[in-house]
Structure 1
Amino acid sequence: MTRSVYVTGIDRGDGRQVVELGVMELLTRQVDRVGVFRPLVHHNPDRLFELLRARYRLSQDPATVHGMDYYEASALQAERGTDELVSTLVDRFHLVARDYEVVLVLGTDFADTQLPNELALNARLANEFGAAVIPVVGGRGQTAEAVRAETRNAYRAYEVLGCDVLAMVANRVEREDRDEIAERLASRLPVPCYVLPDEPALSAPTVAQISQALDATVLLGDDSGLARDALDFVFGGAMLPHFLAALTPGCLVVTPGDRADLVVGSLAAHSAGTPPIAGLLLTLGERPTDEILTLAARLAPGTPVLSVPGNSFPTAERLVPLEGKLTAATPRKAETAIGLFERYIDTGELLKQVSAPSSDRVTPMMFEHQLLEQARADRKRVVLPEGTEERVLHAAEVLLRRDVCDLTLLGPVDQIRKKAADLGIDLGDTQLIDPATSELRDSFAEKYAGYRAHRGVTVELAYDVVSDVNYFGTLMVQEGLADGMVSGSVHSTAATIRPAFEIIKTRPDSSIVSSVFFMCLADKVLVYGDCAVNPHPEAEQLADIAIQSAATAQRFGVAPRIAMLSYSTGTSGSGADVDKVREATELARERRPDLKIEGPIQYDAAVEPSVAATKLPGSEVAGQASVLIFPDLNTGNNTYKAVQRSAGAIAVGPVLQGLRKPVNDLSRGALVQDIVNTVAITAIQAQIPAQSASPTEKATAP
């Protein structure tokens, strides 16, 4: 039977979209097929469903999501009664439930509905759907005592009406009251109660939403700039020196369009990062001259400049009540919302309460969820040497909003800040270091000279070497100032990992540094090794790669069943290449008799049960291999790319293994999500206790 979760409220303005999005995040970690049902809807298309569909790649037909609109429901209830309304909605719910393992139900919004006793209607629908309920109480502008009382009353209301209340959520409470409210409610309610503080970035409208609401003309700005949150409004009328002092981070400057001094001054301040602004809104229908607009575009590329015909006072009246909306067009808000949800809600506890049927399948999305959750469980610091690269900055924003790990960005600090400001990215308290001017440069030069003294490296030469961002980042990891490093979006693989070979070196239990890719197929995750580092591994090295890859797979939740791949299966073939794989298989078995290893074996026999039944009947690995070890780099690299492109697989990696401390390489074509995943993997690798290296030990990789 389908298990459903019904997120509802008691009044409007509770901001429950954060909870709905967070619950969807939890459900998609547990099962593959999650449906969505909203009994009553105001708007079609539904903004939140469009966000869920885009973010979670839902295949559900939008026509099945909604029971009916509020006007139709009100008319039906008036003419034929509540029982008929409920019966109709139950029928439409079950049309969705029959096709999905679990359904997220989005309760009514208590806004202009014309429906009597809406809370009771939500409670009855939840009961008829067989859904567990998570009521959300809004706490904005209320005292701590009022929030506590309202939350307790809401629990009693739904409990008295027969609902299975999973948990209570008090949302949008004053940040300074959060801990006290949470502590008091925990002792007063028999179900878990979670308290979320108010988050200004969620309620702040984006510049694009402001533009749409005011029907403004966009004079300058790109999509990234229009996606910025307007955290404050600063109305310009004073002379420039006084005006600049009034600017706040993330503010939207509202000023008459003929104040060229304020336009240029605001953008110059933004360019310097003191402070970064969301954009400008020019009133009175006055358009700056082309020369001013050209200067503005050069000062702050991408920063939006809007124009409206009215004067500042009516514009302010329309601006102040605007609230941000979670939509498919606001992915940054979605990351902020999920980060807030995961920071203040015990997701493990709530997931147990939901008790959705677990899926045997591991989809790419589930794997990505697991990565972020595992990284967050033991927070580490990862250094990103490519601090001025746009994709890296966007990935950093996601990681920070999701609270995955601490970050250090390397590069000229002013350039990083300017680039982040131009992209509308708030780096918060992220550590920024310029290796060329850092006070660490001298000590790092001495350290590096010590590591490479056997190669004739002097301190003077080392001083130049350690100004390179990859060498500097690697030394931060070696010296314990960071737990791991990720680079390669604009650097070659050699430039990324050579410093690690020279400084960090291999683990005592490894003879080689190798790599794996996590290949996320539609219904499972396979581990491919080695597809990136070693061109022609010998039998002993191949055995080491297999053992390393098994450990990596297990670390990331993939039960290792190892296939040592060749063009021959079992004893059917011979030749130098097959003999090498056969020898490697025996060596791996001798070293790790506890592992399930098969080889030599062909790819089809390794992954396809019907082929395995013919070629290797009775094998514990054949037909169900999860770790596939290729005999050489040529075979592995081409195979992973063929599967990635032809089967639509997501390839996460390469993930380096065998180093004492984690350093990972990115493809120069890496997408933002690839960078996020690789940083999460690096943070998880760093959770394994580090093993220090002797300066005289040599890495065996080239």
Structure 2
Amino acid sequence: MSRSVYIAAAEGASVKSIVAFGVLDLLTRQVDRVGVFRPVAPSPESDVVLDLLLSHPAVRQDRTEAVGILYEQVHADPAAAHAEIVRRFAALSQRFDAVVVLGSDFTDVSSPGELDFNAQVAADLGAPVVLVVSGRGRAPDQIRLAAEISLSELAAQHAQPIAVIANRVEAEQAGAVREQLAGFRGLQTAVIPEVPLLVAPTVRALIEACDGTLLRGNPDWLDREALGFVVAAMSLPNVLTRLRPDSAVIAPGDRADLLPGLLLAHESGTFPNLSVIVLTGGYLPPQPIRTLIDGIEHDLPIVTAPHDTFQTATQLAGVRGRITAASPVKVETALRVFADAVDGPALLGAMNVAASTVVTPLMFQFRLIERARSARKRIVLPEGDDERILRATASLLRLGVADITLLGEENRLRASASRLGLDIGTATVVSPDDPELRTRFAAEYARLRAHKGVTIAQATERLGDVSYFGTMMVQLGLADGMVSGAAHTTAQTIKPAFEIIRTAAGTSIVSSVFLMCLADRVLVYGDCAVNPDPTAEQLADIAISSAATAARFGVDPRIAMLSYSTGASGDGADVEKVRRATDLVRRRRPDLPVDGPIQYDAAVDPAVAAAKAPGSAVAGRATVLIFPDLNTGNNTYKAVQRSAGAVAIGPVLQGLAKSVNDLSRGALVDDIVNTVAITAIQAQQTTTSDAG
């Protein structure tokens, strides 16, 4: 039977969905098959929190099997209800390595006894309990008292708690609450601060609450969140000074003069972007104003509400938001908040969940994000005016993957982000035309390229290329790594790195690998993007660099030096090159398991390996596959990617003294996020090496 963990709240409005989704995400990085179970649900069709958990991309489960029973069954026959819950859970758990059990939501089972009910069910299922206590409106000692009372209720029902998590704690009280919870010996404890976004209502919910009608704007923006309210009852200058990011502006409908000013502020990039403008009183803007705003390109929803300003503001203030699968902004923010607050490895240890030998593509990508987030680095993205880069930046910042610097003109970039509904507020924007930086960078570039006769004037002109500018930021320590190539060729991205950063000590060649995420494992392919026809010496260097890259990303390196023959079965110049390269690897790094020349099938298939290379420590279980030339490597990775449905992450550059990586010009937002995470992890290693 699988391991399981029960997420129970001490009371309502604790927003335990943050913890449940965070625990689920944590488990998906540890094991392959993770299931979700809701012992009791309000209805078989409507359950926002359950739907959120089932929406996780690593969960492959039908909704009907995730529900135990309904509340009405508990009321009708409690004993039979408990028996049915246990039966359904036992059947479900056979299919999964781990199951997250989602306790009830204090919506039907009588609230005073609801924690007792969840404790009984947890004991019946043998599932350890993660207790979630609300910190909303409570002092630190009150939070501890609430936890003590709840823990005693769990003990009375023989449920086994493993963790206490205080959620929705005021940020300034977080330290004091941690001290209070530290007294619970033998339990994992954590404090999650209140994050307004996670309880913010969507624009759609606000429109429904005030009986509003969408007058103008992009319907896709209706699922964005409103983080606060501004009642625009003053003159425009005074209203502008009170605007806050993603706020909903409530304005009297007969104050038509405010509307153009608010739209201009939203589009400007110099004022906070808004989430919606609500015009009260049932008034429509006069025709000249409507004609004017029709000429302004914007997506901001403009809504008319039939009620007066006071009633509308009261209605909107009472709307509560929830974390749902339809809000990727909330989901990513919740994951970051959970990861920042909770010691994931310790919690997994308390759950006693052993790591799976299977590594799926999603598991690998989640681990990349987790590794990058563990020691955040500064990554510069030179192509700040590309929409994909802006979208990736917003996601990276929400997930806490890295601190992002964008190159571009600040007002224009922030206005573009605002139009797209993206929050890049914490990103740094640097102009590549900044005269002070251009002068400093040009002087350094001219110094580095003096042997090529480069003058200051030539260097200044060269620094007008954003790839050169971004690379110089990395070289001079203003950034830890760079990712470019969404709008530039590979040559435009890596040539500046060759000229400025150069190779790492002990490495003679810059090369690349692709991290090939197959259905159940990750392989490392090199070199598939940089060197057309490496010599035997270069091939050995590529193999050693690729093994180091593999180890850096959690792949145990076993190197196969690929050729069209295995062992001594063939000859010729191409085979001899691979044979010499294999010998060089063995001499330079006797600690690395390596075999070659070897054919691909003998390298990865145990049955073929037994026939072609018996006794080899690598054959049949190779993880690092080194191709003899670019033609073979590039075509093979693409063939495997397309025919086997593998996820190809890369190219990942290796051999540089600092971290620079290239994107495909067809890169998707997820590709950019993955590449930034990889670059940040490489930068962590570079920083550690520099410190040593």
* TM bucket, shorter chain: over 0.9
- The equivalent of 1:235 in structure 2 is 231
| Mapping 1:580-595, distance limit 5 Å | 580-595=577-592
The verdict on how the C-alpha distance between 1:60 and 1:263 changes in structure 2, with shifts beyond 3 A counting, is same
- The equivalent of 1:185 in structure 2 is 181
Contact 2:211 2:306 in 1 (8 A): no
Contact 2:28 2:58 in 1 (8 A): no
Q: Distance in 1 between matches of 2:182 and 2:687?
A: 39
- The equivalent of 2:427 in structure 1 is 430
In structure 2, what residue type is equivalent to 1:656?
Answer: L
- The equivalent of 1:700 in structure 2 is none
Shift of 1:115: 7.0
- More displaced 10-residue stretch of structure 1: 610-619 or 51-60: 51-60
The verdict on how the C-alpha distance between 1:349 and 1:297 changes in structure 2, with shifts beyond 3 A counting, is farther
- CA shift digits 1:587-610 (9 cap, x unpaired): 222211211112122212111111
Q: Helix, strand or coil: the match of 1:645?
A: helix
- The equivalent of 2:354 in structure 1 is 357
- More displaced 10-residue stretch of structure 1: 605-614 or 510-519: 605-614
Aligned counterpart in structure 1 of residue 444 of structure 2, from 427, 432, 447: 447
- More displaced 10-residue stretch of structure 1: 417-426 or 114-123: 114-123
The verdict on how the C-alpha distance between 1:305 and 1:644 changes in structure 2, with shifts beyond 3 A counting, is farther
Q: TM-score, length-normalised on structure 2? A: 0.95
Q: CA RMSD in A?
A: 2.1
The verdict on how the C-alpha distance between 1:221 and 1:94 changes in structure 2, with shifts beyond 3 A counting, is farther
In structure 1, what residue type is equivalent to 2:144?
Answer: R
The verdict on how the C-alpha distance between 1:547 and 1:150 changes in structure 2, with shifts beyond 3 A counting, is same
- CA shift digits 1:125-151 (9 cap, x unpaired): 001111000111112122232212112
**Does residue 134 in structure 1 map to residue 135 in structure 2?**
no
| Mapping 1:44-59, distance limit 5 Å | 44-59=45-60
- CA shift digits 1:545-573 (9 cap, x unpaired): 11110010011100011111122222222
Shift of 1:682: 0.9
- More displaced 10-residue stretch of structure 1: 584-593 or 117-126: 584-593
In structure 2, what residue type is equivalent to 1:218?
Answer: L
- The equivalent of 2:301 in structure 1 is 304
Q: Percent identity?
A: 52
Contact 1:101 1:357 in 2 (8 A): no
Shift of 1:69: 2.2
The verdict on how the C-alpha distance between 1:237 and 1:134 changes in structure 2, with shifts beyond 3 A counting, is same
Contact 1:268 1:300 in 2 (8 A): no
Contact 2:214 2:302 in 1 (8 A): yes
Q: Distance in 1 between matches of 2:184 and 2:600?
A: 59
Aligned counterpart in structure 2 of residue 506 of structure 1, from 473, 478, 503: 503
In structure 1, what residue type is equivalent to 2:146?
Answer: E
Shift of 1:113: 3.4
- The equivalent of 1:19 in structure 2 is 19
Q: Helix, strand or coil: the match of 2:61?
A: coil
- The equivalent of 1:69 in structure 2 is 70
Shift of 1:188: 4.6
| Mapping 1:409-558, distance limit 5 Å | 409-558=406-555
Q: Helix, strand or coil: the match of 1:60?
A: coil
**Does residue 619 in structure 1 map to residue 616 in structure 2?**
yes
Shift of 1:334: 0.7
- The equivalent of 1:154 in structure 2 is 150
Shift of 1:297: 6.3
- CA shift digits 1:279-337 (9 cap, x unpaired): 22233444446775575466453222233444333332321121221111101101111
In structure 2, what residue type is equivalent to 1:475?
Answer: M
Shift of 1:57: 3.5
Contact 1:224 1:424 in 2 (8 A): no
- More displaced 10-residue stretch of structure 1: 169-178 or 426-435: 426-435
**Does residue 94 in structure 1 map to residue 94 in structure 2?**
no
The verdict on how the C-alpha distance between 1:54 and 1:561 changes in structure 2, with shifts beyond 3 A counting, is same
Q: Distance in 2 between matches of 1:208 and 1:565?
A: 57
Contact 1:534 1:632 in 2 (8 A): yes
Q: Helix, strand or coil: the match of 2:161?
A: coil
- The equivalent of 1:3 in structure 2 is 3
Aligned counterpart in structure 2 of residue 378 of structure 1, from 372, 375, 385: 375
**Does residue 38 in structure 1 map to residue 64 in structure 2?**
no
Contact 1:152 1:189 in 2 (8 A): no
- More displaced 10-residue stretch of structure 1: 180-189 or 494-503: 180-189
Contact 1:270 1:300 in 2 (8 A): no
Shift of 1:476: 0.8
Q: Helix, strand or coil: the match of 1:30?
A: coil
Q: Distance in 2 between matches of 1:404 and 1:324?
A: 25
Shift of 1:224: 5.7
In structure 2, what residue type is equivalent to 1:26?
Answer: L
Shift of 1:438: 4.8
Q: Helix, strand or coil: the match of 2:371?
A: helix
- The equivalent of 1:106 in structure 2 is 102
Q: Helix, strand or coil: the match of 2:162?
A: coil
Q: Distance in 1 between matches of 2:37 and 2:372?
A: 32
- CA shift digits 1:169-198 (9 cap, x unpaired): 111111111111111220255412211111
Count of aligned pairs: 688
Q: Helix, strand or coil: the match of 1:623?
A: coil
- CA shift digits 1:147-166 (9 cap, x unpaired): 12112221222123211111
Contact 2:281 2:309 in 1 (8 A): yes
Shift of 1:541: 1.1
The verdict on how the C-alpha distance between 1:298 and 1:34 changes in structure 2, with shifts beyond 3 A counting, is farther
Aligned counterpart in structure 2 of residue 574 of structure 1, from 571, 584, 603: 571
Q: Helix, strand or coil: the match of 1:688?
A: helix
Aligned counterpart in structure 2 of residue 205 of structure 1, from 201, 210, 225: 201
Shift of 1:94: 1.3
Contact 2:42 2:108 in 1 (8 A): no
In structure 2, what residue type is equivalent to 1:598?
Answer: D
In structure 2, what residue type is equivalent to 1:25?
Answer: D
| Mapping 1:584-663, distance limit 5 Å | 584-663=581-660
Q: Distance in 1 between matches of 2:448 and 2:346?
A: 47
Q: Distance in 1 between matches of 2:238 and 2:382?
A: 38
- CA shift digits 1:603-625 (9 cap, x unpaired): 12111111112211221111111
Contact 1:37 1:67 in 2 (8 A): yes
In structure 1, what residue type is equivalent to 2:406?
Answer: L
Contact 1:230 1:278 in 2 (8 A): yes
The verdict on how the C-alpha distance between 1:579 and 1:16 changes in structure 2, with shifts beyond 3 A counting, is same
In structure 2, what residue type is equivalent to 1:33?
Answer: R
Q: Distance in 1 between matches of 2:666 and 2:46?
A: 34
Q: Helix, strand or coil: the match of 1:528?
A: strand
The verdict on how the C-alpha distance between 1:554 and 1:237 changes in structure 2, with shifts beyond 3 A counting, is same
